[in-house]
Amino acid sequence: MLFREFAQLCEYLEKFSERTKKIMTLAETLRRLNRKYVRPFVLLMTGRIFPDWQQKTLDVSWSTIAHIIINMLKIRREELINAIKKTGDVGDAVKLLMQGRKVTRQLTLFSFNKDITIIDVYDTLNRISEISGEDARTRKEALLSTLMSMLSPVELKILVRIIFSDMRHGVNVGIMEEAISKASGIPLELISRAHMLLGDLGEVAEIALFEGHRAIKNVKIKLFRPIKPMLAQKAESVRDALREHGWETAFEFKLDGLRAQIHKKEDNIRIYSRRLKDVTVSFPEIVDLIKRGIKASEAILEGEIIGIKDGKPIPFQILMRRVRRIEDFKKYAREIPVEIFLFDVLYVDGEMLIDRPYSQRRKILEEIAVGVKLIPRLVTRSVEEAEEFFKKAIEAGHEGLIAKKLDSDYSPGTRGKKWLKIKRVLEPLDCVIVAAEWGYGRRRNWLSDYYLAVWDEEKRKWVIVGKTFKGLTDKEFEEITKELLNIRDGSMSDEA
């Protein structure tokens, strides 16, 4: 498939909003594709270059893209900014600026006679992601500039959107899963499940279209390919949780730590965060503990890593210093000792356990975790016992409880009532915005990351307590951006 055809399809999909029409169009396209084009097509169409589980990033900034465009089109920076304001989209702005202009093409990547395919684009972006070391930014820019110079206006528009993961054609993962189901004739629930287990929708599409129903049904978890964690819905009280679960359930302490998915194959141990980031290097003592304390050759485990000081858990934000500041690792390892408490097992010695009930998984975990602590648990039908257990969790410095239905399977990447979280009800807190950052991607024209502060009466100053970037509509982001800029400009005028 030529990248020109891919770009034209993206523009076509952008013209209408009907979900069913998008699914049918994508399904028809998938059926026509040669196998080697399927995976890059699915990933790029959903605004992805890498599958969810891969520890890779393109690491190309907005300033790099702007620099390439300005040099390639021989325009001033102000022209690019004005075009973005006019169109509301970087991709549309680049297309507008490129139309009617002569672009100096480079010959170091493709020949003039070669049509650029989606594989050419996909492979080039992967090559860019692998560039590191001295002058990495310069080399990344040179390779990307060469590719961009070979593209037509519509192709360049779509490439820029891929880079910023902002496709604007309404094709999300859910729609693509339905299109794969329609094209292959395989039920949607099997496509979704395979995607959750493999973490690569492009690979799922390839298997579905060319290997069929049985191959999709037999998809298994793969070691060192982390899967999205199962999540819990909120419950107002332990009574509500018991009622929802049929008046008998398992309650576990809810710890305020780093959700860890641990993959073990003999002495090879990797630790992944909730966002599937490899954080192994930050927790060498946990690696050693898993090597010694798990009696299985292969395993995928889930647990919570918490920082401990004076016998009490420390806030999550302090724990994360060990993850974010690798250069000062020895210092923070001394200052922030950690413990891990396991609470689930998803795979042991070749057998996938996610379809087993929670009660069986916990029993298996108890059998293999002979030298690693398990999260405190209570199985009960009693509201009074559950409330007393909740009280113990709070007194120990934890957030509350997680209620787990005894017969529940493990559903990767989903949030449902099989797991329910019960936390303390806190008083509302009035905060003010004391700083803000410009967003990126779809939010690049708004101040969308806000630093929140409260007034410290003793020190007589504002103290930052957190940062937020969720929960607002596009209109609210736009209104707050205008208000914050007015406040900034007004204060600057006062100082002047």
Q: How far is CA 446 from the centre of its chain?
A: 21
Helix locations, 110-269, DSSP H: 118-129, 136-149, 153-163, 173-184, 188-198, 201-210, 213-217, 238-244
How confident is the model at residue 425, as a pLDDT? 73
How confident is the model at residue 112, as a pLDDT? 44
pLDDT tens by residue, 137-183: 889 989 999 998 888 889 988 999 999 888 889 999 999 999 999 99
More confident residue, 431 or 88: 431
Task: Return the half-sphere exposure (C-beta side, CA atoms, 13 A cut-off) of residue 251.
Answer: 30
- Is 437 in contact with 406 (CB distance < 8 Å)? no
Answer whether residue 494 shows pLDDT above 60.
no
Q: Can you name the CATH fold of 231-423?
A: D-amino Acid Aminotransferase; Chain A, domain 1 (3.30.470)
The reported pTM is 0.79
Cα–Cα dist 339/372, whole Å: 9
Amino acid at 467: K
Cα–Cα dist 294/43, whole Å: 36
Q: Can you name the CATH fold of 432-495?
A: OB fold (Dihydrolipoamide Acetyltransferase, E2P) (2.40.50)
- Is 469 in contact with 448 (CB distance < 8 Å)? yes
Measuring CA to CA, which residue among 189, 201, 411, 421 is closest to residue 304? 421
Spell out the residues 6+ positions from residue 196 whose beta carbon is closer than 8 angstroms to its own.
227, 228, 411, 412, 413, 414
pLDDT tens by residue, 283-328: 999 999 999 999 999 999 999 999 988 888 888 888 887 776 665 6
Q: What is the mean pLDDT of the chain?
A: 88
How confident is the model at residue 88, as a pLDDT? 77
Tell me the domain boundaries of the chain: 48-163, 231-423, 432-495
Percentage with pLDDT > 70 across the chain: 92
pLDDT tens by residue, 258-283: 999 999 999 999 999 998 999 998 89
| Mean per-residue pLDDT, 334-358 | 93
Domain 48-163, CATH: 1.10.3260.10
Using the Cα atoms of residue 313, residue 433, residue 425 and residue 461 in order, give the sign of their dihedral.
Answer: positive
How confident is the model at residue 440, as a pLDDT? 63
- Is 5 in contact with 41 (CB distance < 8 Å)? no
| Mean per-residue pLDDT, 104-121 | 67
Spell out the residues 6+ positions from residue 126 whose beta carbon is closer than 8 angstroms to its own.
49, 50, 56
Cα–Cα dist 142/139, whole Å: 5
Report residue 102's pLDDT band, with 50, 70 and 90 as the boundaries: low
pLDDT tens by residue, 179-224: 999 999 999 999 999 999 999 999 999 999 999 999 999 999 999 9
Answer whether residue 110 shows pLDDT above 80.
no
pLDDT tens by residue, 31-79: 999 999 999 999 999 999 999 888 788 888 888 888 888 888 888 888 8
How confident is the model at residue 153, as a pLDDT? 87
Q: Catalytic residue positions? A: 254
| Mean per-residue pLDDT, 18-35 | 96
